[in-house]
């Protein structure tokens, strides 16, 4: 029996070769789109893994979190080839941990430290690589020789100097001293207040130096 054009079974109707070819093209396009999405997802995953690996490779102290300062707030260097490292300088931030990181990331701040230690749990952020020169002491000679460690808190609020902070910071300082052959004493582990020409008083009268040096020495 003859069929009217466009009815089932005639060329151009649903299920016919022409329509089937169109459906195949649609499926192919859909498959390609899904493949592109999957490939993009895989690329993003690989990129995220690479970024995580790069961040991990950027820290000098294994338990630190990379929190980079603006390149406008430190001097790139190649210590200990360019300068010896023979000091650890102890600071108190006069800011919260978060605000200290934020300030170091502000290129107009013109200051930084290598590390920042959090009061509540002793978490450590690394802001400047140890081979670079942090602008932390207000004295170029001491900057070139020192590793600066900031501690969250205020000099007149001893509650910020927690056991977690002391232990975490002392372990960091001990590792730095071991790495660079720095004696673990008060001649080489100093407060910002001891830097010639400074107007800073940190870490202040409430910082327990006897306790800290004992912890650095594993006592």
**What local confidence, expressed as pLDDT, does residue 88 receive?**
98
Polymer length in residues for the chain: 219
Residues of the chain below pLDDT 50: 1-20, 24, 27-28, 32-34, 36-40, 43, 45-46, 48-54
The pTM of this model reads 0.76
What is the tens place of the pLDDT at every residue in 10-48? Answer: 334 444 444 445 554 554 455 544 454 444 455 454 454
Q: In what order do the strands lie in the sheet with 146-151?
A: 65-66, 124-126, 115-117, 146-151, 87-92, 189-191
Distance CA(161)–CA(166), nearest Å, equals 7
Residue in 143, 139, 173, 176 with CA at minimum distance from that of residue 75? 143
Q: Which residues contact 42 (CB under 8 A, 6 or more apart)?
A: none
Distance CA(7)–CA(213), nearest Å, equals 93
**What local confidence, expressed as pLDDT, does residue 31 receive?**
52
Distance CA(100)–CA(151), nearest Å, equals 10
| Range 200-214 burial, b when 16+ CB lie within 10 A, else e | bebbbeebeeeebbe
DSSP, collapsed to helix, strand or coil, labels residue 116 as strand
Distance CA(97)–CA(125), nearest Å, equals 9
**What local confidence, expressed as pLDDT, does residue 58 receive?**
81
Return the CATH number of 65-216, one of 3.40.80.10, 3.30.710.10, 3.40.50.450, 3.20.20.70: 3.40.80.10
Strand (E) or helix (H) holding 33: helix 17-58
Q: Is 144 exposed, middle or buried (0-12, 13-18, 19+ CB in 10 A)?
A: middle
What is the tens place of the pLDDT at every residue in 180-191? Answer: 999 999 999 999
């Amino acid at each position: 029996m003859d069929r009217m054009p466009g009815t089932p079974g005639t060329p151009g109707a649903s299920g016919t070769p022409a329509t089937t070819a169109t459906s195949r093209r649609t499926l192919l396009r859909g498959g390609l789109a899904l493949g592109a999405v999957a490939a993009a997802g895989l690329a993003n995953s690989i990129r995220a893994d690479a970024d995580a690996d790069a961040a991990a490779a950027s820290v000098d102290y294994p338990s630190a979190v990379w929190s980079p300062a603006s390149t406008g707030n430190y001097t790139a260097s190649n210590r200990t080839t360019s300068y010896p490292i023979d000091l650890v300088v102890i600071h108190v931030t006069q800011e919260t941990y978060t605000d200290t990181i934020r300030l170091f990331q502000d290129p107009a701040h013109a200051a930084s430290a290598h590390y920042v230690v959090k009061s509540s749990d002793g978490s450590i952020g690394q802001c400047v690589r140890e081979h670079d020169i942090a602008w932390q002491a207000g004295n170029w000679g001491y900057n070139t020789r020192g590793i600066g460690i900031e501690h969250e808190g205020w000099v007149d609020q001893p509650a910020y100097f927690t056991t977690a902070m002391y232990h975490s910071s002392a372990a960091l300082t001990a590792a730095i001293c071991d790495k660079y052959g720095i004696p673990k004493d008060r001649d080489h582990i100093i407060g910002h207040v001891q830097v010639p020409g400074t107007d800073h008083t940190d870490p202040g009268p409430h910082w327990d130096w006897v306790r800290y040096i004992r912890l650095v020495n594993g006592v």
